Chains A and B, each alone.
Chain A
Amino acid sequence: MPDPLLSTKGLDAHYGDFQALFGVDINVHPGEVIAIIGSNGAGKTTLMRSITGLLSNAPDMVTYRGDAVGGLRADLIARKGIAMVPEGRQLFQSLSVEENLVIGGQMGRKGSWDLQKIFELFPILKERRSVPATALSGGQQQMVAMGRALMSNPDLILFDEISLGLAPIIIKSIYDALPDIIGDGMSAIIVEQDIAKALSVARRVYCMQEGRISLEGRSNELSREQISAAYFGV
């Protein structure tokens, strides 16, 4: 097994006196797609915030390409090639659709993704490129959020609850687009509440419960019962 692209070791996270993560260990290998599942409040989003640097950690708790990055500022971590599609899409409301995409690429990281390729993937965005980003439907906004993250040509992309609050048909089209997106060697972490969706795209799965990893394994080797137990703690 080659060295992981990203790993967390004994990752703890706190909000004031409240401890949200307890010794979380995960690994993502180059080109690998993993899923993190768990119910509300299991610590999934906190884990994403820790990896991206929005929450500061002890440096050696998060390692990326062999470097301890746990204590780095979020913008420096982004420059190293980690992008996130945040929960709730979080588009810049003062920017047009096109500006939201362009600013995603403002670091100038080299790679295959550019405005034209995003517009090929999501043609509707080209049509609506000059409207304010928040004037789009939820599904279209999710496309912009994904495009914005891709524009930075990341090596690792984090999807936080991409199906939350969207219609089933939209969720399907977004998951249909995923293989195209993470097909060319990009690694991905997919955070989901929808277990079936997560298992369909990820090779390995981590299940979280109350701030701890309660189960990990290959998607095709875990049984429904194991996952239910790890998910609900029953």
Chain B
Amino acid sequence: MDWINAIVQGVLLGGLYALFAAGLSLIFGVMRLVNIAHGDFIVLAAFLGLSLTTALGVNPLTVLLFVVPIMAGIGYVLQRGVLNQTLGDDILPPLLVTFGLSIIIQNGLLEIYSADPQKMNAGALETASVAVPGGLHIGVLPLLMFVVAVAVIAGLQWIFYRSALGRAFRAVSDKQDIAQLIGLNKAHVFGLAMALSLAVVGIAGVFLGIRTSFDPSIGPGRLIFGFEAVIIGGLGNLWGTLIGGIILGVSQNIGAQINPGWQLLAGHIAFLIVLAVKPRGLFPRID
């Protein structure tokens, strides 16, 4: 029974990891940019949620209404103001710049919020659970997060493959010059892609802050989880990313079930096994 419980909890945790990963996957797909500061933006969103929760005295889930648009705005301005200037044939400049951003964000947060672990309190929702057949109890909050993660992935999938914005994303990703010839401003399209990426980061950050305690230094660790979910699932495949997140979450929980010290190690080992057996991930879309 403990094992089934560990697996179920792992699946739900995987939803959060998929949220960490989705924005990373999106911007890589559109502009081949690897955002090293992605994890730190997740932590930034968590702190933003914390400040707003405290200032407004509302439930952390309510502040999503503010955090998501603020993060999207930061994404657009960051892309137009900084990252667009780094894109080109050379893949090194965006890596270096986002690495620098990562350090800036970590130290900025450290300056403002100190190194103390923080947590957002979602009240009664945190302890609420539903009983499912087999004597298991599933927390309402993890379940809600998982449902939101699936909805976000489905939404991104719809945007990417069914909407005019997604067509523009794919066209610019395919051929930047030709996309400009039909009137697409690639700087603006890239800005929108980063806005969408950081909007998802906003959700991920608030959920992270409700689920566990966080401090300014944990960003790179979330980035690794995001990377691993993307790579396990296969580059450019959003549903694959969700499955990658679930595999990571389940492996971690099974590891923890064997020995609490093995939680992270088990996740990394699962990642390594996938990488060794299928180097391009389980369901790759991008060649």
Contact = CB atoms under 8 A, between A and B. Distances in A.
Interface string A97-139: 0010011101100000000000000000000000000000000
Interface stretch (B14-22, B110-118, B181-189): B181-189
B181 A86 contact: yes
A103 B168 contact: yes
B126 interface: no
A74 B167 contact: no
A64 to B, nearest CB: 15
A128 to B, nearest CB: 18
A75 interface: yes
A70 to B, nearest CB: 16
Contacts of A95: 167, 170-171, 174
A14 interface: no
A90 B178 contact: yes
Interface in A45-103: 52-54, 73-76, 78-79, 83-84, 86, 90, 92-95, 99, 102-103
A152 interface: yes
Interface SS of chain B = helix
B183 A73 contact: no
Interface string B22-54: 000000000000000000000000000000000
B221 to A, nearest CB: 33
Nearest to A84: B181
The interface size bin for chain A is 20 to 34
A73 B178 contact: no
A99 B163 CA distance: 10
Q: Which of A74, A90, A94, A104 has the most CB of B within 10 A?
A: A94
Nearest to B164: A106
A107 B182 contact: yes
B257 to A, nearest CB: 42
Contacts of A103: 164, 167-168, 171, 182, 184
Contacts of A204: none
A73 B185 CA distance: 9
Nearest to B167: A103
A95 B180 CA distance: 16
A148 interface: yes
A163 to B, nearest CB: 19
Given A102-B167, A106-B168, A152 B182 contact: yes
Interface in A129-182: 148-149, 152
Nearest to B185: A75
Contacts of B171: 92, 94-95, 103
Contacts of A102: 167
A234 B281 CA distance: 59
B157 interface: no
Contact of B180 (A73, A92, A106): A73
Nearest to A104: B182
Contacts of B174: 92-95
Contacts of A76: 185
Nearest to B160: A94
Contacts of B185: 73, 75-76
Interface in B128-182: 164, 167-168, 170-171, 173-175, 177-182
Name the residue among B171, B173, B182, B184 with the largest chain A CB count within 10 angstroms: B182
A104 B168 CA distance: 10
B181 A83 contact: yes
A209 to B, nearest CB: 26
B211 to A, nearest CB: 35
26 contacts: A52-B181, A53-B180, A54-B181, A73-B185, A74-B177, A75-B185, A76-B185, A78-B180, A83-B181, A92-B175, A92-B178, A94-B173, A94-B174, A95-B167, A95-B171, A95-B174, A99-B167, A102-B167, A103-B167, A103-B182, A104-B182, A106-B168, A106-B182, A148-B182, A149-B182, A152-B182
Given A75-B186, A78-B183, A90-B178, 18 more contacts: A52-B181, A73-B180, A74-B177, A74-B180, A75-B180, A75-B181, A75-B184, A78-B180, A86-B181, A92-B170, A93-B174, A94-B170, A103-B168, A106-B167, A107-B182, A149-B182, A152-B182, A152-B183
Among all A-B residue pairs, the 3 with the closest Cβ atoms: A74-B180, A78-B183, A107-B183
Interface of A: 52-54, 73-76, 78-79, 83-84, 86, 90, 92-95, 99, 102-104, 106-107, 148-149, 152
